[in-house]
Chains A and B, each alone.
Chain A
């Protein structure tokens, strides 16, 4: 069946034949029959741009590979199929007192997608990214064979090319993940309000090692002396003793209701200068400095998950996420980017600033020691030019773009931002010489 697919940002939709296989044999057959325009795996479609669509070709809907096969509580290991969502994983693990150490800004992503994008969370400075916690994975490669890969030893090059490899080395079928024990499903949160960007950067740089999770929101509409004002939120997992008596009765409770779903009738342009400023003002004011507040998973980690299909709020023209990372030494790029965005006339409401810890061995893994900044901008005239300008700033400082959110840069920018691109390309060529795995992103960025 021909299906129109786009990423979460709703830009650049294309049409592909979507197949939803349930078993590996069917998958391998589909591969064999789709050599012309290629194949790409898709999970829950939360990548913002075009990595999980394949114009004129085949898209493998992996969400039927949704079994949690085994949980080894004592060893802290879980063996899951690639289509299992992190939401399902959290729901299965919490009653056992276990927790996946890396959760991105939404739980609505699959394990396969989390590996392919090597996603990170607010705890990157402590625990690294998703790929750091994968003990082994099964990969269906272009020749139809299934390989079991581990981070070390034989096949480790392919393992690390798959982590962050945007699905272009093969189809992740199954993975064994390391999970960690937790006493409760709550966080003890410290919130600090910062009056301007320098204040925010300074606060966020100080004693981050005391917190397992750390992230800032900043106001991308404020200018002048309030430029980059923001709210820093840092937290540790709550221990049993941290909980008030009422919560202690069911410390591992997890209730994440979907409050409402945004209808698909909203026009583009709802987020404009006026509403963007109003939202930012409200968001800033509702978060005064306070310490030791107990919050649940949704409140702290995933506030947006309570609204279904929130991307529809941006209307049919869609929006892009612009996320980049630069080394700590290039912190001035953060200042310049915030200033440039705030003065551009383009409005971003959901803005994130975070410090990354050490990166991993994957050539295309995004996180590296330094700052990362993310803004989401509705598509309107002039946005391309603004982003092209930011690209130069970022790349000249030795920075890079996050492919899971990327939707508009150039092939050259990826090569500059990822110095080990050629190494990754060589591994991909060795397992998929004919380019059977292909996506709109791989065509656009010549991956």
Chain B
């Protein structure tokens, strides 16, 4: 259960090596020791995350999970819920890809779509079913401002996030009567492994800053938040710019 001040008893991370998600887990495990399930492909990075949490005294388990293997999702979720209910489930997997290759190479484009959109939809449906039965819980979907107004510079990625974002907003409406909250988080440029080598955009943030936003959003049962918060204003302006002006903005 999530208590009155926002402490969960059990966390699930889908995309368990995501830096943002792990920053969220660290926030939640700093004072209390909730049960943590990290769902990700087996890798040294996953092992390191498990080892780090275990060393901090957190009861942690790893579950094999591949975003593109949608047929395997139900079994992975069954394993994730095997030890009891989940209070906060983070949908944190995603790939950025090479933006220029992505719109010219069908394989690259489809991979982005499969991971960021199809995979996210598949686990969203699976999580919804399980949290509905629980009558409580929060799904945190890590979306992106890139999906809010899709730009020429990374429009394949942006389009997958736009779809994912729309799906989770809708899922939130559907789950609301069942006591389940869906929190869509729209970070701007986050300086992580995923964006290594890219030039940080204005209002860039760190994984820790996004984690802070996530923790407060879960406590307040918010349905849509930006990280950092001022992006909300910036994006609401950008959203309404005429295309002719928008395309002239610096990439």
Q: A16-B135, A317-B220, A385-B31 are in contact. Are A11 and B1 (CB under 8 A)?
A: no
* CB of B129, distance to nearest CB on chain A (Å): 12
Stretch at the interface among A48-56, A179-187, A362-370: A48-56
Asked if A381 contacts B216 (CB within 8 A), the reply is yes
Contact between chains at B5 and A384 (CB < 8 Å) = yes
Q: Does B196 contact A (CB under 8 A)?
A: no
Q: Which residue of A lies closest to B132 (CB)?
A: A56
Kindly count the residue-residue contacts between A and B in the assembled complex, taking CB atoms under 8 Å apart: 75
In the bound complex, how far is the Cα of B181 from the Cα of A15, in angstroms?
11
In the complex, A408→B5 CA distance in Å?
7
Instruction: Determine how close the nearest CB of chain B comes to the CB of A203; give it in whole angstroms.
Output: 33
Q: Return the contact of B5 from the options A16, A320, A443 (Cβ within 8 A).
A: A320
* Residues of B contacting A339 in the complex (Cβ-Cβ under 8 angstroms): none
- Is B7 a contact partner of A50 (Cβ separation < 8 A)? no
Bitwise, B1-16 to A at CB < 8 A (1) or not (0) is 1111111010000000
Which of A4, A9, A12 is packed against the most chain B CB atoms within 10 Å?
Answer: A12
Q: Does A226 contact B (CB under 8 A)?
A: no
In the complex, B45 has a CB within 8 A of chain A = no
Say yes or no: B7 contacts A56, CB within 8 Å.
Answer: no
Q: Which residues of A (1-51) have their CB < 8 Å from a CB of B?
A: 2, 4, 9, 11-16, 37, 49-50
Q: Is the CB of A49 within 8 A of B4?
A: yes
B177 at the interface (CB under 8 A from A): yes
Give chain B residues whose Cβ lies under 8 Å from the Cβ of A16: 135, 179
A interface SS class: loop
Number of interface residues of A (CB under 8 A): 32
- By a CB distance below 8 angstroms, the chain A residues around B4 are 9, 11-12, 49-50, 318, 320, 379, 407-408
- A318 to B216 Cα, complex, angstroms: 14
The 30 listed contacts between A and B (C-beta, < 8 Å) are A2-B177, A2-B178, A9-B4, A11-B3, A12-B1, A12-B3, A14-B135, A15-B135, A15-B136, A15-B177, A15-B179, A16-B135, A49-B4, A55-B1, A55-B135, A56-B135, A56-B179, A57-B135, A320-B4, A379-B4, A384-B3, A384-B6, A384-B31, A387-B5, A388-B31, A407-B3, A408-B7, A440-B1, A443-B1, A444-B1
Residue positions of B touching A, CB distance < 8 A: 1-7, 9, 31-32, 85, 132-136, 177-179, 216, 219-220
- The chain A residues found within 8 Å of chain B, CB to CB, are 2, 4, 9, 11-16, 37, 49-50, 54-57, 317-318, 320, 379, 381, 383-385, 387-388, 407-408, 410, 440, 443-444
